[in-house]
């Protein structure tokens, strides 16, 4: 007779948009994770989210949730300045740990957290969900297989008014508190470059334009440790795009993270826009259509990336396997973002290794 495995009992600290709009809907289909408690200092928001998702445990004090012996794992989904103290408390309480991105505002704090986690056998995952987007996973496999040959350059664009038009908290609009395009948004792609390419970011030059929020539109040019050149454009004011292209000596790989058929490989001999290229695109769309319809019914590729992220977390808790995105990965993304801000502020190229230690000193 098979014995039913008890679900992992999860407590989430923070009831903002990331929790109510992203994580809780993603966790709901998983039978191996049960959210049993929420914590938030905003009593009205706590009650609203807990009622919506029928969560019994409700704490005004995050430390009380972390100390709850019935909680197996803790997710830290609050502004970045609070991540490290709460994450340290969770590890001290012997809980498995999920920490949202950006990991922290201070590299020294990140290193303290890494050192503490090294003394724990608990699973620890940083929430870079784009690593779990099926297009990004497919791109990494193609690069690793050598389908593109030697990579020459990468170009990416992330543009949307969605974030700036929403009533987001003020911390998301300021560099100093971990917001803005060059910090909160940039860490997504700064981490994704490392994940897909398998190389580290070495040098960064960034420029930005601000208004009612910091860095509403920004550009980043970088050199990876293996010599690959990378460019990235962000905007929180322009039409929506979420694309990345990887150019190699054998071909080009285009990712459109908003499209169900958004992985396109073209060998170097195939000319863009040629009849063969267009026919290949049509056949790809037809082939991917059933998956696209199924994906749309589940909220699309981004929603699936959060579900897959939580599935991965549960597997790591159960089996003790290494997590896909470690605290060291989270720290390196923050270090690169700090280099971006330092470059935009100074107008100079900044080596990532020489990035300021925190937003407070820029």
**CATH number of the domain where residue 36 is located:** 3.40.50.720
Residue 71 included in any domain: yes
Same-domain pairing of 189 and 275: yes
Each residue of 130-161: pLDDT tens digit? 999 999 999 999 999 999 999 999 999 998 86
Same-domain pairing of 124 and 176: no
Average pLDDT, the chain: 90
Predicted pLDDT of residue 162: 63
Same-domain pairing of 211 and 340: yes
- Residues 6+ positions from 244 with CB-CB distance below 8 Å: 139, 154, 155, 156, 157, 189, 192, 196, 254, 255, 257
| Interstrand relation of 73-76 and 201-209 (parallel, antiparallel or unpaired) | unpaired
* Residue reference for tokens 């992992």: 8
Same-domain pairing of 31 and 94: yes
Same-domain pairing of 224 and 317: no
Task: Pick 173 or 343 by higher pLDDT.
Answer: 343
Task: Pick 260 or 342 by higher pLDDT.
Answer: 342
Same-domain pairing of 115 and 188: no
- Residues 6+ positions from 351 with CB-CB distance below 8 Å: 202, 203, 204, 339
Predicted pLDDT of residue 185: 86
Same-domain pairing of 206 and 97: no
Residue 1 included in any domain: no
Measure the CA–CA gap between 194 and 176, rounded to whole angstroms. Answer: 24
Stated pTM of the model: 0.91
Torsion, Cα of 158, 164, 165, 167 (10° steps): 130
Residue 245 included in any domain: yes
Residue 181 included in any domain: yes
pLDDT at 343 over 60: yes
DSSP 232-268: EEEESSS--EEEEEEEESSEEEEEETTSTT-EEEEET
Read off the pLDDT band of 234 (50, 70, 90): confident
Same-domain pairing of 115 and 144: no
Residue 359 included in any domain: no
Name the nearest CA neighbour of 357 among 24, 94, 110: 110
Each residue of 70-88: pLDDT tens digit? 999 999 999 999 999 999 9
Domain that holds residue 177: 132-298+334-346
Same-domain pairing of 42 and 98: yes
Name the nearest CA neighbour of 96 among 220, 205, 10, 189: 10
Please give the tally of structural domains in the chain: 2
pLDDT at 214 over 80: yes
Same-domain pairing of 125 and 140: no
Residue 3 included in any domain: no
Predicted pLDDT of residue 231: 96
pLDDT at 355 over 90: yes
Residue 261 included in any domain: yes
Predicted pLDDT of residue 2: 42
Measure the CA–CA gap between 201 and 192, rounded to whole angstroms. Answer: 11
| Interstrand relation of 8-13 and 73-76 (parallel, antiparallel or unpaired) | parallel
Same-domain pairing of 146 and 98: no
Residue 358 included in any domain: no
CATH of the domain at 210: 3.30.360.10
Same-domain pairing of 194 and 109: no
Count of beta carbons in the 10 Å neighbourhood of residue 54: 7
């Amino acid at each position: 007779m098979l014995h039913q495995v008890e679900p992992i009992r999860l407590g989430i600290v923070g009831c903002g948009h990331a929790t109510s709009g992203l994580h809780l809907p993603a966790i709901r289909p998983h039978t191996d994770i049960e959210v049993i408690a929420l914590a938030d200092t905003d009593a009205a928001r706590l009650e609203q989210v807990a009622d919506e998702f029928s969560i019994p445990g409700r704490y005004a004090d995050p430390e009380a949730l972390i100390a709850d012996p019935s909680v197996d794992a803790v997710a830290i989904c609050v502004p970045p300045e609070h991540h490290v103290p709460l994450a340290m408390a969770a590890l001290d309480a012997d809980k498995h740990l999920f920490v949202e991105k950006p990991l922290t505002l201070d590299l020294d704090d990140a290193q303290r957290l890494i050192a503490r986690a090294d003394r724990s056998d608990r699973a620890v995952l940083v929430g870079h969900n784009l690593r779990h987007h099926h297009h990004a996973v497919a791109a990494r496999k193609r690069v690793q297989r050598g389908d593109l040959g030697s990579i020459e350059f990468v170009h990416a664009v992330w543009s949307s008014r969605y974030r700036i038009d929403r009533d987001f908290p003020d911390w998301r609009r300021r560099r100093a508190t971990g917001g803005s395009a060059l910090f909160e948004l940039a860490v997504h792609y700064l981490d994704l470059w490392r994940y897909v390419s398998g190389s580290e970011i070495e040098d960064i030059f960034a420029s930005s334009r601000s208004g009612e929020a910091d860095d509403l539109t920004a550009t980043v040019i970088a050199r990876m440790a293996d010599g690959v050149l990378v460019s990235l454009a962000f905007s929180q004011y322009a039409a929506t795009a979420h694309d990345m292209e990887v150019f190699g000596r054998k071909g080009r790989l285009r990712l459109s993270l908003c499209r169900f058929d958004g992985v396109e490989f073209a060998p170097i001999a195939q000319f863009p826009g040629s009849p063969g290229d267009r026919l290949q695109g049509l056949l790809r769309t037809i082939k991917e259509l059933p998956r696209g319809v199924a994906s749309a019914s589940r909220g699309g590729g981004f929603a699936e990336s959060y579900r897959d992220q939580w599935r991965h977390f549960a597997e790591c808790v159960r089996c003790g396997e290494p997590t896909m995105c470690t605290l060291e990965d989270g720290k390196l993304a923050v270090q690169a973002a700090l280099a971006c801000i330092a470059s935009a502020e100074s107008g100079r190229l900044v080596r990532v290794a020489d990035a300021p230690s925190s937003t407070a000193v820029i």
